[in-house]
Amino acid sequence: MASSLPPVTTQTQTPSHMGIRKQASMTNVDVTPEKAFEIFSSKQPVVRRNSVLEVISCDNHELLEAPRPGQEPPPAAIDKESDTSSLRLAEGFKAAVVSKGAERRATFFSTSEPGSPHSPTLGDVPRGQELYDMFREQHVEKRLHLHSAGLHDTSSPVQKGRQHWAPYLPKIFDTVEIFYEDRELTEMAQKDAEQLKQFFPVTFGLPYVEGVQKPFERRPLRVGLVLSGGPAPGGHNVIAGAYDFIKKWHPDSQFFGFMGGVDGLSASKYKVVTDEEMDRFRNMGGFDMLWSGRGKIRNDEDKARAVEVADSLGLHGLIYVGGDGSNSNAALLAEHFGSALPQCAVIGVPKTIDGDLKNPVIESSFGFDTCAKVYSELIGNLCTDLSTAQRYYHFVRVMGRSASHLVLECAMQTRPNMVFIGEEIEAKNIGLQDIVNSVTDLIIKRDSMGKPYGIVLVPEGLIEFIPEMKVLIGELNRLLKEGPFDVSKLSSAAGKVWTFLPESIQEQLLMDRESTGYIQVAKIATERLLILLVQSELERRNALPDMEIMPHYFGYEGRCAMPSNFDANYCYALGFNAGALIMNNKNGYMSVVRDLYKHPREWRPAGCPLTRMMKVISDGKSTFPGVERRLVELDSPLFKVLDQVRDVWATEDVYRSPGPIQFEGPVADLANNTVCVPTKEEVTYPREGALIMSKKAVFPKSLDWLGPCQLWRLQHKPVIPTLCFDLKARTRRTDQCIPKDPYTLRQVLIHYPHLINRHQFVIQEMRHDKYTPPISPGLRVGVVFMSRQAPGVANIMWGLCNRLDLVGGTCIGFYGLGGLLEGKYCEIGDDDIKPFVNQGGMELLGRSMNFSLMTLEAREKAVKTCTDLELDGLVLVGSAFAMSEACVLSEHFLQVDCGTLVIGIPGTGSNNVNHEMIECCVGFDSTSKVYASLVGNVLTDAASMPKYWHFVRIMGRDPSTEVLECALQTHPNIVIIGEEYGAAGKNLVHIVKDIADVVARRAAQGKNFGTVLIPEALLSHLPNMRNLTDELDGILKDAQEAGTLREFQNKLMNIDELSPTDMADLLEKMAPWSVALFKTFPKFIRRALAQLQRGELRFTQIETEHLLVQMVKQELAKRKKNGTFVGNFQAVTHFFGYQGRSSMPSEFDSRLGFAHGHLAAMCVESGLTGYCTTVRGLCGPSHSWKLAAVPIPSMMKVVPRSGDDTMKGFENLPVVPSAEVDLEGKAFRWMKNSLSGWEMEDRFCNPGPIQFSGRAALFYNRILHEEQAEYLEMLRHVEAYTQVLHDTCRFGVDENFLKTAYVTLNSLLTLRFHPDDVLSYGIPVSQHLSDHHRHEALSNQQVLMGALRAAKSDRAHLVGDNDREESRELYDERKFLPANGKRPHGGQTAIGLSPANTRGIR
């Protein structure tokens, strides 16, 4: 395990080439108790007490990497396996956990190379006086969150840390005095030599060159740069590399960045880059420093204009960053500059995420590595998600235009069941029907194996390679240019294909067109086309597996991500090399870096003539020179490996989840498979002899299947409170938490009398009890995952098993709720849990589907299972509804005298379990970080190509909490909170108007771009939509019972074409306003609404982002007519959902889940039932978290009406409500206060991917900070102040001061325990402190007595005369009165424990 790893010494680097930047100083914190005491008194201090600053620094010592002043941290705080120490790159670790192929690649990137610079940590840590100033700022501003961007910032903490990270450079660049020598280039033949000579008489025939060190006389350089084409991660590092070279070459050198691509060059729009601005964009994603453009060099006039601008600025070089088309333009400019302005060298830089700018000297274009890793993370999360639920097929389209390099790379990283390579489709002449048949055959075959799930990857340009589609697209392009489309003008072959296509795809082919008039093939939703055709084929074959098919498109969310270490190093070297080529006046060259499979220090910089990479291209009308694009070659090593293993992947589930991009740690520097091609043996798992370590799991796994990041995380043990390992830890009764609403209290007493009689609403706190005898061996505890996937729940299982091992118990895992009801379970041991620790999903036990404990039959089955297995405890993990089920089940167990104790754990990504004692649910931190990272990438994309509005829908079912968290992390322009519009009684028209208003105001400032965040179930909060769906629910159910469901759905879909008779019939079933609302929706929304789905599920299936785009477009068109909108509106839509809920858990969720698992077992040891575990103080270090349990009835409210069939007959049953965004909460208020600034000012922030190493690994979510940090801070301050006061109030203290302290403290206690007396009698002076506790206890009893009397009467009517004796027993008021009116104290056992309840507990 990780504890056996060798110690690693952390080193920092100050590379010679980065001399212009300084590293922050590293000094120790000098804060003592004496200094803190001097704040309050000049008297002699008592050293043993903590000061206020000690308390604060204690709370933040993990984040700030500062030791606690005056003492060593407790053992649990020293995380020997964690991020701040041994998670640096260690050869010992790699040998232990990285596969042979990955190890081979990792050794090339070892940071332990002798004599080479070492990558610094993620930002330097402020110490000493800087630390003190930081805390002063936090105390004054109250809003400083060290884990996320300030609400008015433009950079997140991860971005700021990356700005200080220094990339590697090849050894040749240890000096800037570089000379390029001619070298032979035998591996790349020149194509079309004679024709190219005519196009490029000046630059053709230049030799290939490589750099060597040689002294030079230095003079200032003036260099310009153009970003062309779509953005790609790492572009800013190209700028940084060139900038640093010319500045190191001569400090008076100047760098000019042309704005908006080549159009900025032609218009002479540029900025002079300064040190300050350059430092803001180092290692950042996107092209937002200079913007990008798609302009071209079209004629001699454009060339002359470029020469004129370059000459006026006195440029010595022009760097042209782009793909094959852009570098073709660079070659044209270089040819013209060679004769018109020979002193200015034009240098190309290979940029494209598509990977098609590739040849023997360009091993990879920059940006490809980062995009492949971002998409692979998301695909890997989908793989984990489907292996948990085992009922979904995910069809994923991956960006990459017509080249399939990206989808091939993603396949090698994730191992899907099927991947299509467009070039293979074309080469083998595979038709559309053949593709559909192959997918259908796979689905049927897997279903016969008991696997109704899978994942299929599709390249963006697949449709271009299908022979009959190429013919159709060619004819459509011709016909659409001639005039309106007429299907009769298509040829018979094309017409046959056209009629074969679904209507939605036909609309896309006609509507999505480029400015040239051609169809935008890349925007055709090929994945949706395949889904529709496959579903039709399955119906035709009468084969309908029990599954759902989900479409995904991964594109814009990846191309502006923060660059991986590989791309950051590569781009910096490309830029540095470009500067050196300019210094050598190498006009017409491409900056290239070779041997990328080696360590960056061993990379080989070179220059290759642009003309060497070109050939003559014909478009049917003319011929012209262009840089050759390289598509996937079917004889390439990587494709050959895929071809050898794809049959294994099709049926054997060997999915791999690569995890998020890491900036530190042992996996941070791994290169992609395209650069380091794996062997067949590395990817043909399960290999012979592979050890399957989890045969009991619903998804068995072998360690051989896991990726380097997964293996690394298996070695990590989270830091949690030491109390979790204390065998004498027991719960202690603290405060009562009685529902404040009298009606809710009454209903709780009626429906949960046994449970209330048991715990009396008393909160339990976990404490060490030295008098408690140890638990005798034999404790048996079961666990069920009740709700949807949530990152970190696997660690709940780990924590539960770990605690039970300590006490000699046994963990029983049920395969979902169905497993509990049907007796399907397994005993879980160390080997069973080992492959799943710190991993996403629920692959060990699976999730619950289509079951509920709200029926008596289900509860009776649960009683039988628990009795047969002699379970002492049952742990239910899930959302708010799962907590309600836990409460109902615990009441039933007590009623039938079943000895199994029931404990709930809040585990849900939507964070919908809310109570004043519950700060955060397991899973919310991770999912919100995944979504926020993707939103941050999209925001950067919007700023880099400022012409798109991005509409982003975020998963979260009913609450908008994840949207709120992402907004606080990223600062988008528009944030839609469903609860806010619902509370105001607004509808879709109001939402559309609000969005259109912001779009119009930004357009007036020339900003035709932005981002809108939308909650998944936005429509469920709108009253008119609620009414509509309620009516549809009843009508559709009646139609189903009558056997006319399909007919009625067709009528709804074509409501505009109904006959008067059919419309009259419909109006008899639906209100006129509901019919009018339904008619306003486009067909794809009608189709979703017309499905027979109840409650919130229908709203989650509606693509609200598409609906809002259409409605906003219509609104803006109206405004454009009346002159109130003057801009352009182009929209791109996204849905972030399934790709986040099964992600690898953040360190916060790993620790939180691990702690909850221990706590649940400890609650069973303490004899609790009907409780929900809670961990408090989450804003502080994890070793100091406080463990407690809250009675589930204390969290309940009465829900008058529910749309769930399982709740029928329980309309007045108190349940734990699904928590929504608190419109009075601090997080929402701060977001609203900041939103007006975000609307017009682009304060976009990118929180970056989840990190497992360095400072960023310890970050927690912003909502938790806003809602809980101030509370925790005040609590710690009060503890520190009272300690100082305790040391001050001793013999010799001034009497007046003592009186003041006495009266003040007594007043505080009076306000706490009996505030009503303050208004009636003034402030009473208590003789004893126990008076306060006694008064509080008696006050609570008075409330309970009144509710008991009412509930006793209602219960008698509810249960009838037969159980009146039971009612008298349950509602005996004497049971609810403590003896002598005294408050119960710690160490007492819960009331009413019977021998059956205490089995295994001594």
Q: Which of 79, 302, 354, 385 is catalytic?
A: 354
Q: Are 1313 and 711 in contact (CB under 8 A)?
A: no
DSSP bridge partners of 922: 907
Output the DSSP codes for 602-619.
G-EEEEEEGGGGEEEEE-
Beta strands in 610-690 (DSSP E): 614-618, 623-627
User: Residue 363: which residues within 8 A CB-CB, separation 6 or more?
Assistant: 594, 595, 596, 597, 675
* Cα(140)–Cα(115) distance, integer angstroms: 46
Beta strands in 351-442 (DSSP E): 392-398, 418-419
Summarize the chain as % helix, strand, coil (round to 5): 50, 10, 40
* Cα(358)–Cα(360) distance, integer angstroms: 7
Q: Are strands 589-594 and 345-350 parallel, antiparallel or unpaired?
A: parallel
DSSP bridge partners of 616: 625
Mapped onto helix, strand or coil, the DSSP state of residue 715 is coil
Of the candidates 728, 726, 731, 685, the one whose C-alpha atom is nearest the C-alpha of residue 706 is: 685
Of the candidates 289, 180, 288, 654, the one whose C-alpha atom is nearest the C-alpha of residue 455 is: 654
* Cα(1088)–Cα(229) distance, integer angstroms: 37
Q: What Rg value do the Cα atoms of the chain yield, rounded?
A: 33
Return contacts of 1023-1026, CB within 8 angstroms, 24+ apart: 1023/982, 1023/985, 1023/987, 1024/987, 1024/1073, 1024/1074, 1024/1077, 1025/987, 1025/988, 1025/1077, 1025/1099
Q: In what order do the strands lie in the sheet with 392-398?
A: 418-419, 454-459, 392-398, 548-554
Buried b (16+ CB within 10 A) or exposed e, 650-686: bebbbbbbbbbbbbbbbbbbbbbbbbbbbeeebbbbb
Q: Tokens 């007796």 belong to which residue? A: 823
Q: Are 605 and 593 in contact (CB under 8 A)?
A: yes
Q: Are 813 and 782 in contact (CB under 8 A)?
A: yes
Q: Are 845 and 813 in contact (CB under 8 A)?
A: yes
Q: Does residue 354 have an active-site annotation?
A: yes
Report the amino acid identity of residue 276: E
User: Residue 616: which residues within 8 A CB-CB, separation 6 or more?
Assistant: 191, 192, 195, 196, 199, 623, 624, 625, 626
Q: Are 761 and 853 in contact (CB under 8 A)?
A: no
User: Residue 1376: which residues within 8 A CB-CB, separation 6 or more?
Assistant: 760, 1341, 1344, 1345, 1348
Q: Are 613 and 360 in contact (CB under 8 A)?
A: no
Mapped onto helix, strand or coil, the DSSP state of residue 1393 is coil
Catalytically active residues are 354
